[in-house]
Amino acid sequence: MPDAANSPGARPTLRDVAQRAGVSAMTVTRVLREDSRVSAATRERVLASVAELGYRPNTVARSLRLGRGSGLVGLVVTNLANPFYSRLALGVDSVVGPHGLKTVIGNTRQSVEHERDLVADLVGRRVDGIVVVPAGGDQRHLAQAAAQGVPVVCASRPPVGFPADHVLVDDHGGARDATERLLALGHRRIGFLGPPASVHTSVERLRGYRETLAAAGVAADERYVRQGPVDVAAAEAAAGELLALAEPPTALFCSNNRNTIGAFRAVSRAGLTTALAGFDDFELADMLGLPLSVQSYDSDELGSEAGRLLLDRLRGGARDAPPRRVVLPTRAIQYGTPRPLA
């Protein structure tokens, strides 16, 4: 009887295997851990017993006994449906997975409150570490987790009020480059479209945009700045407003791909040739029929870097190293042929 399910739901234990093989539980452990020297004969018997019972060691009990963590890494993001975050998740998982760690997802739906509950839950589950894209400014719960000995790595946004490893994108540099490209084409009336100021990346990208304009001697015009849209529809509306101004911008810098796509829709619908520069690459960007430059980077790299930082704390010697910061560069991609301003 290969897999006699004696009582459904009652999974066999180490003891069951031992008893069936006529040895002690300890011996079974040894065989399973390929530990010390066990006689070939015994090993055979034990393995047979394991197979017959369909025994699978209980990792939970094991990790409890060993005093280690649960072999889980918590991943906390605002919206996993966003490919940006799912790639990030994959990046984390691809790095920690080979080390026997599984990734637990936590979706906060932009709510700091959810984030706090999630982190508390993850800490309770004794995750070995947490990778988080903080949803808001209040990060006390993260500080607390870190203080309780759970390594925290922030991705995309820096930790606030406590030390932690973090991985950022070169938001400022990317925004500078994007803006410079528009300036180089002769544009002076350049609009800005991006998420609200509560989003760290948006702040940095806006700063890069402003500083670049200032450095080029272009007067800032706050009418051209729309910090707010988080989805395509809102971005399209906001872009439409800018384009409808008496003296509309001749170019738009869009600080993420939601805004770029929204802007594209608005420009396209209005039948204009407003130049576009954006942050984040996206599929079909090359087929839009408008020249477009984007600042691109792989979000899975954000994840894999975060995973590496975490592993260093867990396995490497970086257990008590001072907090580290990794900044990923962006690279410019030009779609279509840029048109100099007439």
Partner DNA sequence: CTGTTAGCGCCTTCAC
Partner DNA sequence: GTGAAGGCGCTAACAG
Of 77, 60, 78, the C-alpha closest to 69 is 60
Q: Between residues 64 and 244, which has the closer beta carbon with respect to DNA?
A: 64
Give the helix/strand (H/E) hosting 335: strand 331-335
* Contacts to its own copies by CB under 8 A: 3, 5, 8-11, 54, 56-61, 63-64, 70-72, 79-81, 83, 85-87, 89-90, 93-94, 97, 102-107, 120-126, 144, 147-149, 261, 264-265, 268, 282-284, 287-289, 300
Give dist(CA 91, CA 306) in Å, integer. Answer: 8
SS3 assignment, position 199: coil
- 39 binding partner (options its own copies, DNA, none; Cβ < 5 to 8 Å by kind): DNA
SS3 assignment, position 328: strand
Is 7 one of the binding residues for DNA (CB under 7 A)?
no
- 287 binding partner (options its own copies, DNA, none; Cβ < 5 to 8 Å by kind): its own copies
- 15 binding partner (options its own copies, DNA, none; Cβ < 5 to 8 Å by kind): DNA
Q: Is 126 exposed, middle or buried (0-12, 13-18, 19+ CB in 10 A)?
A: middle
Q: Are 134 and 154 in contact (CB under 8 A)?
A: yes
In the chain the first and final C-alpha atoms are separated, in Å, by 83
Is 47 one of the binding residues for DNA (CB under 7 A)?
no
Give dist(CA 174, CA 298) in Å, integer. Answer: 13
- Tokens 């590496």, residue located: 308
User: Can you tell me which of 2, 53, 54, 67 binds DNA, judged by CB under 7 A?
Assistant: 67
Of 234, 244, 302, the C-alpha closest to 89 is 302
User: Can you tell me which of 1, 4, 66, 284 binds DNA, judged by CB under 7 A?
Assistant: 66
Q: Between residues 29 and 42, which has the closer beta carbon with respect to its own copies?
A: 29
User: Can you tell me which of 1, 4, 41, 287 binds DNA, judged by CB under 7 A?
Assistant: 41
Is 9 one of the binding residues for DNA (CB under 7 A)?
no
Residue numbers of the site for DNA (CB under 7 A)?
13-15, 22-27, 29-30, 32-33, 36-39, 41-43, 57-58, 61-62, 64-67
